Structure 1
Amino acid sequence: MSTAFRINPAHTAVLSMDCQAGIVSIYTKGDQAAFLARAAGVLKYARASHMTVIHVKVGFRPGLPEVSSENQLFGAIKASPQHQKFFQEPMGSIDPALGPVEDEIVITKHRVSAFTGTDLAMILRANDLDTLVLFGIATSGVVLSTLLEASDADFRLVVIKDCCADLDADLHSTLIEKLFPSRTTVLSAADFLKLQLVE
């Protein structure tokens, strides 16, 4: 844990990314209850500390007009009605253990990064948010893509490592242990709850 890292809640956004019911059930498997408990604990602490909570989800219009068949990842979803069900109700809903609650912001994206094609950057600028706390599914998907884009945009970053999940355990570990520390502060959920808050 980086004892030097400080968070000003007024300038911090916690991004819960792609934690939709169907995705959580596939990626967390036997750890689902524990994963949701950790993530819910992070969000509860963020709300109590007056940080901004933003939920990011994957979603499409009927027929997926946002997706090119040339896109290797999302083109496969467009070609498969079965896969599309994971982004429709009820599987496409954010897991109720995590929210959203009250007027929390929900951003729907059509690509891997939370920034691509969304108004996330505008919302962050409009609310003077310069620190992002990231977690979600998958580590090698939305977390990696969003982290790299946010790093290049000079945001201060935290990744909650045990609130991220990936089907490839080795890739998850490599990102968390080797790549992410060069761009962000990597913390456990328990360590995040101990961070010093400043005004």
Structure 2
Amino acid sequence: MSRDALLVMDVQQAIVERFAGVESAVGYLPRLRSTIEAARAADVPVIYVVVGFRAGHPEVSGRNKTFSALVQSGAFAEGTAGTAVHPEVAPQPGDIVVTKKRVSAFAGSDLDMVLRANQVGGLVLTGIATSGVVLSTVRQAADLDFRLTVLADGCLDADAEVHRVLVEKVFPRQAEVVGSEEWVKGL
């Protein structure tokens, strides 16, 4: 029998700080915390996905436009403050933390192995940014035949219009898209 898991993706100190001035970020962390707490109370596994690299970023090619700028700054080196999950939604005992090396939660991580070992067949996606980790993970998870739910208000993007188009037009082709409250009521 398969079950669902809640994925909390890229809600790390350095990423949350970059979204501090975004209007849609108001209330995001408290809403996400409530969703996480409800999942735990319903025995839905909570899996955190974070981006992290070894010191010196040997995993990053200079050809990778997205990540190559991180090499110079040293950003997201494992163990640095910016890579930690934001304390307002920090993992608790029993939660799982998976480290990825690219945009998708599956790329360069053992997420697929963790999900299959825990008999997870459905994913409930949250994270920052809607146009980054959420989009990439929806696409890859759909190709891997997972049942998908995207919590529209559990995702955050710097561009409100991009977020709207993704949750209203793109994601519904591969996932159920609902609000956090609606999902929590169904637990």
Counterparts of residues 1-199 of structure 1 (less than 5 Å): 11-29=3-21, 30=23, 32=25, 34-81=27-74, 84=75, 89-195=80-186, 197=187
Which sections of structure 1, spanning at least 5 residues, go unmatched?
1-7
What are the superposed Cα offsets for residues 88-116 of structure 1, whole Å, 9 maximum, x if unpaired?
63222101111200131101111000101
State whether residues 134 and 160 of structure 1, in contact with CA within 8 Å, keep that contact through their aligned partners in structure 2.
Answer: yes
Alignment-mate amino acid for residue 64 of structure 2: N
SS of 1:79's equivalent?
helix
Which sections of structure 2, spanning at least 5 residues, go unmatched?
none
State whether residues 47 and 96 of structure 2, in contact with CA within 8 Å, keep that contact through their aligned partners in structure 1.
Answer: yes
State whether residues 24 and 160 of structure 2, in contact with CA within 8 Å, keep that contact through their aligned partners in structure 1.
Answer: no
Normalised to the residue count of structure 1, the TM-score between the two structures is 0.87
Structure 1 residue 80 displacement after superposition? 3.1
CA shift in 2, pair 1:37/1:159, >3 Å: same
What are the superposed Cα offsets for residues 97-138 of structure 1, whole Å, 9 maximum, x if unpaired?
112001311011110001011111011111110010000001
State whether residues 148 and 174 of structure 2, in contact with CA within 8 Å, keep that contact through their aligned partners in structure 1.
Answer: yes
Q: Across the two proteins, how many residue pairs are aligned to each other?
A: 186
Structure 1 residue 87 displacement after superposition? 7.0
Structure 1 residue 12 displacement after superposition? 1.1
Alignment-mate amino acid for residue 5 of structure 2: A
Identity of matched residues, %: 44
Structure 1 residue 32 displacement after superposition? 4.3
Query: Could you tell me how far apart the structure 2 residues matched to 1:178 and 1:69 are?
Result: 34
State whether residues 56 and 107 of structure 1, in contact with CA within 8 Å, keep that contact through their aligned partners in structure 2.
Answer: yes
State whether residues 55 and 78 of structure 2, in contact with CA within 8 Å, keep that contact through their aligned partners in structure 1.
Answer: no
State whether residues 35 and 163 of structure 1, in contact with CA within 8 Å, keep that contact through their aligned partners in structure 2.
Answer: yes
Q: Looking at both structures, which has the greater relative contact order when contacts are Cα pairs under 8 Å and sequence separation is at least 6? A: 1
SS of 1:118's equivalent?
coil
State whether residues 22 and 86 of structure 1, in contact with CA within 8 Å, keep that contact through their aligned partners in structure 2.
Answer: no
